[in-house]
Amino acid sequence: MASNTAPPTASNAALQVAIQVDGGAGQRRRLAVDLAFGLGVTAIVGPSGAGKSTLLSAIAGLVPLSAGSIWLQGVSLDDVAAGLRVAPHRRGVGLVFQSLALFPHLSVQDNVAYGIADRRQRGEEARAWLRRVRAEHLAERRVPTLSGGEAQRVALARALAAQPRALLLDEPFSALDRPLRAALVADLGELLCGLAIPTLLVTHEFADVAGLTTRVVALEAGAVESIQGPAAALATAQAPR
């Protein structure tokens, strides 16, 4: 099997994604992009069906590539030509779906502890991450009893507790009302300031997260339409159509 330890050449990007994802038989190509991401938050925007969630799923290893490669902090995760594909749970990628995908039969603390490698420290570390997302008081609660905002905080704590080398957020605030969304975005900004990892944030409401981002990638029909700074992207989003 091909080695996956050699660093990518001639690049200082934390995350490199040069991939093609085809649809099924007779379907059009779902995604074809060549992108490099640095540390910090990159917003991924575009209409429904543009390929935003497909991009995140490909990086997380949930969607097989038709061609191309993915590198994360000097480690190859995918290389179709070399026959390399790292399993999702070995990628070091944290993923928060819009649906959150929390385990309903576990307590909040056990949900957060699930991905922590050191079994002896799981309880203590889970509590620490819940504290960081302002949710320590929820530790003994069951998932079905949580509000939308509470569940979002727990899902974020669970993703970060596994100490990922990249964080992927697929419309994590879309189901929340605007005041709650603003509070969670502010807390997320504080939290990510101390993490030296690339973060990709898929959103339909760019104005709500503009203050978090360092760059905005717009997708259209499975391809890159534009790459802008947040100020330019915000002006574009607010311009009359």
- Given a contact cutoff of 8 angstroms between Cβ atoms, the answer to whether 55 and 219 are in contact is yes
Spell out the long-range contacts of 98-102 with Cβ–Cβ below 8 A and sequence spacing 24 or more: 98/170, 98/171, 98/172, 98/174, 98/175, 100/151, 100/152, 100/154, 100/155, 100/172, 101/155, 102/143, 102/151, 102/154, 102/155, 102/158
pLDDT score at 11: 55
Which top CATH class is 1-92+165-241?
Answer: alpha beta
Q: How far apart are CA 35 and CA 134, in angstroms?
A: 34
What residue type is 126 in one-letter code? A
pLDDT recorded at residue 241: 59
Alpha carbon 172 to chain centroid, angstroms:
9
Helix (H) or strand (E) holding 43: strand 40-45
pLDDT at 15: 96
- Write down the pLDDT at residue 1: 45
Task: Give span(s): CATH 3.40.50.300, the chain.
Answer: 1-92+165-241
Instruction: Note the pLDDT of residue 17.
Output: 97
pTM, two decimal places: 0.87
* pLDDT less than 70: residues of the chain: 1-11, 24-29, 175, 238-241
Res 86: pLDDT: 97
